[in-house]
Structure 1
Amino acid sequence: MIWVISGFLCLIAYLLGSIPTGYLAGRMLKGIDIREYGSGSTGATNVLRILGKTAAVLVLITDLGKAMLSMVIIKWFYMLAPTGLIALNWEPWLMIVAAITVIFGHSKSIFLNFTGGKSVATGLGVLFILNPLVAVVSLTSFLLILSFSKIVSLSSLIGVLVVNVLMIWLHQPLPYCIFAFIAGLYVIIRHSTNINRLLEGKEPKIGQKLQDSSRS
């Protein structure tokens, strides 16, 4: 029964992650498919580029919220679970599986033919539940790099590295460290085209358009 319930909870996490907030913002505000503009991503950065600051903030908050909610649901389940189940100490592992599925859902939404965003915001939302200190420090590092570079992708990639260092330095549970590594690697892969543009000096800063026709 625990496997069935766990699978169901992870399915909920995936569906929450799949809610296409950036896409919906494009449809409701301008009647467009945001995947056809800018980088082609449904994340907050592309929303900022195409729809403006207000829409980007709303999308960012929603993407954070859906990831946080998926983690809270797991915690609620364990608060109500029988004592014997709690003794199995299954919660940390189920948390990271659900965390990975909500991140995957954001980037591979079932509602958008398995397209989506880069999963940075959803990853941060997960961290706010797993370890608020790691979330705040990584967010601070992101904002500091962004203030100097004005490049969101570079700031995100450095933030990923900061998360992994903090998880090890703060002696976080093994499941959390595994999550940081897997999620970080996934975010890096999702930014592969951005990395290429960074190396070529073509990655746009905030407010600039892409210098090439590739999308990521």
Structure 2
Amino acid sequence: MSFLVLLICIVMGYILGSIPFALVIGKVFYKTDIRQYGSGNLGGTNAGRVLGRNAGIAVIACDILKVVLAMGLASLQSEACSIWCGVACCLGHCYPVFAHFKGGKAVSTMFGFLVSLWLFTFHDISYALVPLGMFLVILYLFKYVSLASIASSISSCMYITAQILSLDLNNLMIILASWLMMFLIIYRHRSNIQKIMNATENKIKWM
């Protein structure tokens, strides 16, 4: 694998990650710029609150699939290309070049990363199911999407580290990527953490 190929995969991941599906779906199908409503966040949760459940589901699905597409294409080159392409995709989602670098909070794209690990790297669905299970449990208990997102990212990081910890370079690379993903999600939710502490964070009402 050459450095140039890796760089091309990273750039591809960032560009695909930068596609703001919440903005596209909102403007094309609902004639609404969701940045002007709710939290202003370009993610599935805000799209669901502003535009309705179907829009939220569509945005989440598209955000997951853009990572799977990026990592799937990059995996044709190497595992390293796939992993760093996925990280770049998540960064593009948070800081999209097509939306003035103001995007989502990387939760759906994290799950896209985990689905891609299952499909292209480990061929083990538990890498996606364990964080999803944690997300649903925390969401059911506390009703905070933000808290459930943070908990799922931590559980994902811990699970990956525990499962593959070794001196193998590829494994260390995946562990590093998972830790970076966890810190990115926690950082992107810093305002939500403050709201939870102040008891002003929005709770879901459908669970």
Output the TM-score relative to the length of structure 1: 0.86
Q: What is residue 136 of structure 2 aligned with on the other side?
A: 143
The residue identity in structure 1 corresponding to 2:117 is L
**Partners of 2:38 and 2:160 in 1: CA distance:** 34
Q: What is residue 155 of structure 1 aligned with on the other side?
A: 148
The residue identity in structure 2 corresponding to 1:93 is A
Q: SS of the residue aligned with 2:55?
A: helix
Q: SS of the residue aligned with 1:170?
A: helix
Contact 1:134 1:163 in 2 (8 A): yes
Q: What is residue 81 of structure 1 aligned with on the other side?
A: none
**Partners of 1:32 and 1:62 in 2: CA distance:** 18
1:70-149 correspondence to structure 2 within 5 Å: 70-77=70-77, 91-131=78-118, 132-149=125-142
Contact 2:14 2:85 in 1 (8 A): yes
Instruction: Go from structure 1 to structure 2 and tell me whether the alpha carbon gap of 1:207 and 1:116 turns closer, same or farther (over 3 Å shift).
Output: farther
**1:189 Cα deviation from its structure 2 partner:** 0.5
Q: What is residue 23 of structure 2 aligned with on the other side?
A: 23
Higher mean C-alpha displacement, 91-100 vs 53-62: 91-100
Identity of aligned residues (%): 31
**1:174 Cα deviation from its structure 2 partner:** 0.9
The residue identity in structure 1 corresponding to 2:155 is V
Q: What is residue 55 of structure 2 aligned with on the other side?
A: 55
Contact 1:63 1:125 in 2 (8 A): yes
Structure 1 residue runs of 4 or more that deviate by more than 4 Å after TM superposition: none
**Partners of 1:98 and 1:74 in 2: CA distance:** 7
Matching of residue 32 in structure 1 with residue 25 in structure 2: no
Runs of 5+ consecutive residues of structure 1 not aligned to the other structure:
78-90, 209-216
**Partners of 1:30 and 1:72 in 2: CA distance:** 31
**Partners of 2:26 and 2:164 in 1: CA distance:** 42
**1:186 Cα deviation from its structure 2 partner:** 0.8
**Partners of 1:193 and 1:29 in 2: CA distance:** 30
Contact 2:73 2:82 in 1 (8 A): no
Aligned length: 195
**1:92 Cα deviation from its structure 2 partner:** 3.6
The residue identity in structure 2 corresponding to 1:99 is G
Q: Which one of the candidate residues 142, 164, 167 is aligned to 1:171?
A: 164
**1:207 Cα deviation from its structure 2 partner:** 5.0
The residue identity in structure 2 corresponding to 1:41 is N
Q: What is residue 184 of structure 2 aligned with on the other side?
A: 186
Q: SS of the residue aligned with 1:41?
A: coil
Contact 2:72 2:82 in 1 (8 A): no
C-alpha distance after superposition, 1:44-83 (max 9, x if no partner): 0000110000011111111000001111011123xxxxxx
**1:32 Cα deviation from its structure 2 partner:** 1.9
Contact 1:92 1:176 in 2 (8 A): no
Output the TM-score relative to the length of structure 2: 0.89
> What CA RMSD, in Å, does the superposition of the two structures yield over aligned residues?
1.6
